[in-house]
Amino acid sequence: MSSSTSDADLFLVLRLFDPQGKEVVFIGTNDPRAPIALGWLRASHRKTDPARSLPYRPWHTHDEQWPLTPGEPVEVDVEIWPTCIVVPKEYRLGVSIRGKDYEYDGSDAALPHAAYPMKGVGPFTHADPRDRPPEIFTTVNTLHFSAKQAPYLLLPIIPP
């Protein structure tokens, strides 16, 4: 991926769709309309520890920042949190790669007394301009694909 600035936030969403193409969501611990799983990473924190990383779980050190050079592609490994689901026949998995938090359909499922909106990720949003200044994070990010650098999603398939 590359960015037009020195940093970028990546939000990955593992999603399930029924045979008619409607997204299937789940009752999560903090939100009644959660996707299967989420992962996110700030590109400047992409450094991993090879000794602690596993093929299915990159270990990010968060001990130094690696700023992006605008327009220059870098490889980024983003962990999607472990989960477990049986996908029925005819259903489809999808992965969304976003520059902001996942939202189920833009509406708020919170009850009137709820302390925070419920749009799919509960209270865990990334919208504070002190942490995500618009001049850095409201810009253009590009995904790069080639035969030598193809994107991948590593999922276990457990036979019935």
Q: Give me the tens of pLDDT residue by residue for the chain, a chain 160 residues long.
A: 999 999 999 999 999 999 999 999 999 988 999 999 999 999 999 999 999 999 889 999 999 999 999 999 999 999 999 888 999 999 999 999 999 999 999 899 988 888 888 999 988 899 899 999 999 999 999 999 988 888 888 887 777 7
pTM, 2 dp: 0.91
pLDDT at 130: 95
pLDDT at 156: 77
pLDDT at 104: 94
Extents of the domains making up the chain: 1-154
Distances in Å between the Cα of 122 and the Cα atoms of 35, 71, 80, 93 are 11, 33, 17, 22
pLDDT at 5: 98
pLDDT at 151: 87
CB atoms within 10 A of CB 102: 20
pLDDT at 111: 80
H or E element at residue 42 = strand 37-42
Fold (topology level) of 1-154 = Jelly Rolls (2.60.120)
pLDDT at 40: 95
Coil, helix or strand at residue 84:
coil
Buried b (16+ CB within 10 A) or exposed e, 119-129: bbbbeeeeeee
Alpha-carbon distance of 126 to 90, in angstroms, equals 34
